[in-house]
């Protein structure tokens, strides 16, 4: 029987601190420390668990990919990727909007970050869309929605966090008879599994963009599509296009692990920026180091406290009660999928993606495991759903970034992004209901 008092202390403290505006790491850490004191355990346990969590080898991929993404922008790689996307769009209806989506796919395949993708692509594409009468609100909205693709298209920082979170709860659940032998989650499989779902969500945004532009009579670009120009842009940007090939090709072929691929990526973009494009200066390099240190430290602090919070959930068997409650309510996997997606959408509106993954993985993964759902499939659906949170208020990090770039109010962007969010939710439900969308590609490679 789970002590109700520890559940009360853990969650009430956490939500109370969030309501008064405490940072997510402070709320998680404070709730965990008070819970340890309530259980007469030494609070130093938080530090021990956190140190073990942030000291893991797979976690090294996070600062490495952040650093690689920052260098990529400073080295002119992102600029060339966007130019390639522009030449491919041509003069068809919604061409520049489609270029924005394609550019976000390219950039997301390297940076693995939603806000970083929104900022890098938005700085170049939002002014172009405004110039062609897309309107500031819609230009910002489609950029923010497309920026969320950055955490689905591999490599993805949230996928690394999910893999570590799932591994972290494997040992405690092996002792729980109902779940039998718990499967660990391969981060490499997660990367491969995210490709097709990411493309499906991208296709949904592209279709909506075409319909919206057709209905709104947005003028076409006067720039006609030319095979020669597109080919020339691809040739000029061949080193930029090769970056995703280097990253993903090495992972898919088993040449190196996701962590090793992140290190290889850093050396690759440094080489391109210094010796090929010759645009990476020492001043820009130091800025990349500063931004990487700040973002990595923020992520590691959340990870440290969320690890202790999640372990408290598992040790006190709170996920077991949730599993029993949901399976008692219904054993229909489709209904449970809808409930899980609803929970993730709601949480994504108020909580950072990484913290949500760390907190909810120990709670929801056993539910899906008890129903025979593959953990890789669940992880992909979880990340696809939480990616929508980048474009939903009140947190909506991508919305704030796009709002600043387009210089338009947050509320007006929210109104324009709502239909795109609805389409994304439909895409997530399809991905959840059809497991082979996520699992077919990993079955070929593994």
| CA distances for 394 relative to 96, 346, 381, 400, angstroms | 28, 11, 22, 10
Q: Are 323 and 370 in contact (CB under 8 A)?
A: yes
Answer whether residue 19 is part of any domain.
Answer: no
User: From CA 64, how far away is CA 178, in angstroms rounded?
Assistant: 38
- Residue ranges making up the domain that contains 360: 42-444
Answer whether residue 25 is part of any domain.
Answer: no
Residue 434 phi, psi dihedral angles, 5° rounding: -120, 90
Mean pLDDT per segment of 10 residues, for the chain of length 446 residues?
68 85 83 87 80 70 78 81 70 80 77 73 80 88 89 84 73 40 70 92 93 82 68 83 76 74 85 89 90 79 77 72 72 88 85 81 83 90 92 80 83 90 96 94 83
Answer whether residue 341 is part of any domain.
Answer: yes
Q: Are 364 and 382 in contact (CB under 8 A)?
A: yes
Answer whether residue 53 is part of any domain.
Answer: yes
User: From CA 285, how far away is CA 269, in angstroms rounded?
Assistant: 12
Answer whether residue 225 is part of any domain.
Answer: yes
Q: Which two tokens stand for residue 362?
A: 């120990």
Answer whether residue 85 is part of any domain.
Answer: yes
pLDDT for 171: 39
Answer whether residue 405 is part of any domain.
Answer: yes
pLDDT for 169: 54
How many structural domains does the chain have?
Answer: 1
pLDDT for 89: 64
Q: Are 410 and 399 in contact (CB under 8 A)?
A: yes
Q: Which two tokens stand for residue 97?
A: 């909007």
Answer whether residue 33 is part of any domain.
Answer: no
The string of DSSP letters for 190-259 reads: HHHHTHHHHHHHHHHHHHHHHHHHHHHTPPPPS----HHHHHHHHHHTHHHHHHHHHHHHHHHTTSS-HH
- 10 Å Cβ neighbour count for 29? 25
């Amino acid at each position: 029987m789970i002590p109700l008092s520890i559940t009360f202390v853990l969650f009430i403290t956490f939500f109370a601190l969030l309501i008064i505006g405490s940072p997510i790491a402070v709320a998680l850490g404070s709730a965990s420390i008070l819970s340890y004191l309530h259980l007469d355990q030494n609070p130093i346990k938080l530090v021990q668990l956190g140190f073990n969590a942030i000291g893991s080898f797979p976690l090294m991929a996070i600062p490495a990919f952040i650093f690689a993404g920052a260098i990529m922008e400073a080295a002119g790689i992102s600029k060339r990727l966007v130019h390639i996307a522009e030449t491919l769009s041509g003069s068809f209806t919604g061409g520049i909007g489609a270029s924005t989506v394609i550019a976000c796919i390219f950039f997301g395949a390297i940076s693995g970050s939603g806000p970083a993708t929104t900022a890098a692509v938005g700085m170049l594409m939002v002014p172009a869309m405004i110039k062609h009468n897309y309107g500031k609100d819609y230009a910002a909205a489609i950029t923010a929605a497309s920026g969320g693709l950055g955490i689905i298209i591999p490599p993805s920082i949230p996928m690394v966090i999910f893999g570590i979170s799932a591994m972290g709860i494997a040992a405690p659940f092996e002792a729980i008879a109902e779940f039998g032998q718990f499967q660990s989650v391969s981060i490499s499989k997660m990367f491969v599994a995210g490709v097709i779902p990411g493309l499906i969500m991208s296709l949904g945004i592209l279709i909506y963009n075409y319909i919206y532009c057709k209905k709104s009579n947005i003028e076409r670009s006067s720039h006609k599509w030319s095979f020669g120009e597109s080919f020339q842009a691809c040739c000029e940007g061949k080193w930029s296009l090769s970056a995703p090939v280097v990253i993903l090709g090495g992972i898919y072929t088993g040449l190196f692990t996701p962590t090793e691929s992140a290190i290889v990526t850093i050396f690759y973009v440094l080489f391109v920026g210094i010796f090929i494009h010759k645009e990476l200066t020492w001043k820009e390099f130091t800025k990349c180091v500063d931004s990487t240190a700040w973002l990595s430290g923020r992520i590691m602090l959340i990870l440290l406290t969320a690890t202790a919070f999640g372990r408290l959930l598992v040790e006190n068997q709170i996920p077991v009660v949730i599993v029993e409650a949901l399976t008692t309510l219904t054993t229909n996997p489709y209904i449970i999928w809808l409930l899980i997606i609803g929970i993730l959408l709601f949480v994504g509106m108020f909580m950072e993606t990484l913290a949500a993954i760390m907190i909810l993985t120990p709670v929801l993964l056993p539910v899906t495991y008890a129903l025979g759902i593959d953990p890789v499939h669940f992880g992909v659906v979880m990340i696809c759903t939480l990616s929508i949170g980048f474009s939903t208020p009140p947190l909506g990090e991508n919305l704030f970034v796009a709002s600043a770039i387009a210089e338009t109010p947050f509320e007006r962007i929210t109104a324009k992004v709502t239909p795109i969010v609805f389409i994304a939710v439909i895409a997530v439900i399809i991905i959840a209901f059809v497991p082979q969308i996520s699992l077919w590609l990993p079955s070929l490679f593994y």
